Structure 1
Amino acid sequence: MTDSLKPKARAADKRRRLTAAAARVLHEQGVERTTLADIARVAEVPVGNVYYYFKTKDDLVRAALAEHSANLDELTRSLDELPDPRDRLKTLIEAWVSRRDVAARFGCPTGTLAAELDKRADGTLDVEAGVVVRQLLDWVEGQFRAMGLPEPDDLAVTLVSAYQGMSLLANALRSPDIMAREGARLLRWLDSLKATDRIL
């Protein structure tokens, strides 16, 4: 690496650390309680440097949403390597359940952020959060469509709603077991679906 590239690489690394920290801290503390200093501390970046990359807290929220979207892309790309769409969905559910302790403490990263942003009177960040939720719905719908099931869009809403619901209940009741039990129920539900089934 040449000397001229080193500052660019360092800048990209700082931005990446800040983005990852924003996603984590906003998930754990929420938008209103989070300060730029909180994010700088977790990213191990001097707080004055934050303003070089992100001018406002809303810019950091956008960065966190981009991080959630990138994480979802990474997850779905790895799931797409599985040959069977039913197995892809089952592995997705297992991934959700594997994070049950985090969900019980803080809820779903994207879902809780979307709910919080919806309560704000200013901006369009709630719409941007909805785009990430739609990204998941579209991928799940594609799996049900590949399985040859009728009404794959409704099935996708059913599955993603179940995930959001079990995350919310696990968080509200501080009970990771809810995620485990509901995840097992969803796996049985997926196994029961046949191409001739119709959603209720």
Structure 2
Amino acid sequence: MTDSVPVRVGKRERLADAAARVFHEQGVEKTTIADIARVAEVPVGNVYYYFKTKDQLIQAAIGAHARTAREVLAELERYETPAQRLQALVRGWVEQRETAVRFGCPSGTLATELDKRADGLDEELAAVMRELLGWIEAQFAAMGRADARELAVALLASYQGISLLTNTFRDPGLMEAEGRRLVAWIDSLEAVTSRTADR
């Protein structure tokens, strides 16, 4: 997620982006509609024109997560090879290490909170994370890996785990080290695939 709410979008999108940011920084339960309005620079009364309830703001935040993820993945498509795209994804995660130190992974922390509710919003966020997982799997498949699904799960699980540890220990170096390991791991997988293809 970004640290500031874009000003080029309309009020609904500003509120959705603000909700995603404030829920990440404060947690869903502690966040008030007034908090979101303040970050979005929208009068509190105007919020209710777009979103009648806090749950609708949570849905909007999930939509903001989806939009951000799709923008990131579209940007990664400019890299020539699937291995380069995966490595760029990892480097992007590492660039967010200071945010992870303070608040953890935006999607991961929200998923943990929503899991404790019984309103189905956790499934909406799971769909966003499945989209990311599917993209990662497609990159491994494009590398010729028959175990693309397992590798995708391993990569995403590694990121979620290191985000948790980085936040728990307040140590950005953990994410830097894991990022280097993952980049090297992707290199090693590509090398193995290339050797196998040459036989």
Q: Runs in 1 of length 4+ with deviation above 4 angstroms?
A: none
| Counterpart residue number, 2:20 | 23
State which drifts further: 122-131 or 137-146: 122-131
Number of residue pairs aligned between Structure 1 and Structure 2:
186
**1:60 counterpart letter in structure 2:** L
| Counterpart residue number, 1:163 | 159
| Counterpart residue number, 1:4 | none
Deviation (angstroms), 1:135: 0.9
| Counterpart residue number, 1:98 | 95
* 1:64 aligned counterpart, secondary structure: helix
| Counterpart residue number, 1:179 | 175
CA offset digits 1:108-161 (Å, max 9, x no partner): 1011101110012x2000111111110110000000000001210000000000
Q: 2-side partners of 1:142 and 1:165: how far apart?
A: 22
Q: TM-score, normalised by structure 1?
A: 0.90
**2:126 counterpart letter in structure 1:** G
Q: 1-side partners of 2:158 and 2:62: how far apart?
A: 21
* 1:63 aligned counterpart, secondary structure: helix
| Counterpart residue number, 2:61 | 64
Correspondence 1:110-149 to 2 at 5 A: 110-120=107-117, 122-149=118-145
Structure 1: which 5+ residue stretches go unaligned? 1-11
Deviation (angstroms), 1:87: 0.1
Structure 2: which 5+ residue stretches go unaligned? 1-8
**1:14 counterpart letter in structure 2:** K
Report the aligned-residue RMSD: 1.4
**1:41 counterpart letter in structure 2:** R
**1:79 counterpart letter in structure 2:** L
Q: 2-side partners of 1:149 and 1:184: how far apart?
A: 21
CA offset digits 1:77-113 (Å, max 9, x no partner): 1111211000000000000000100011111101110
- Report % sequence identity: 56
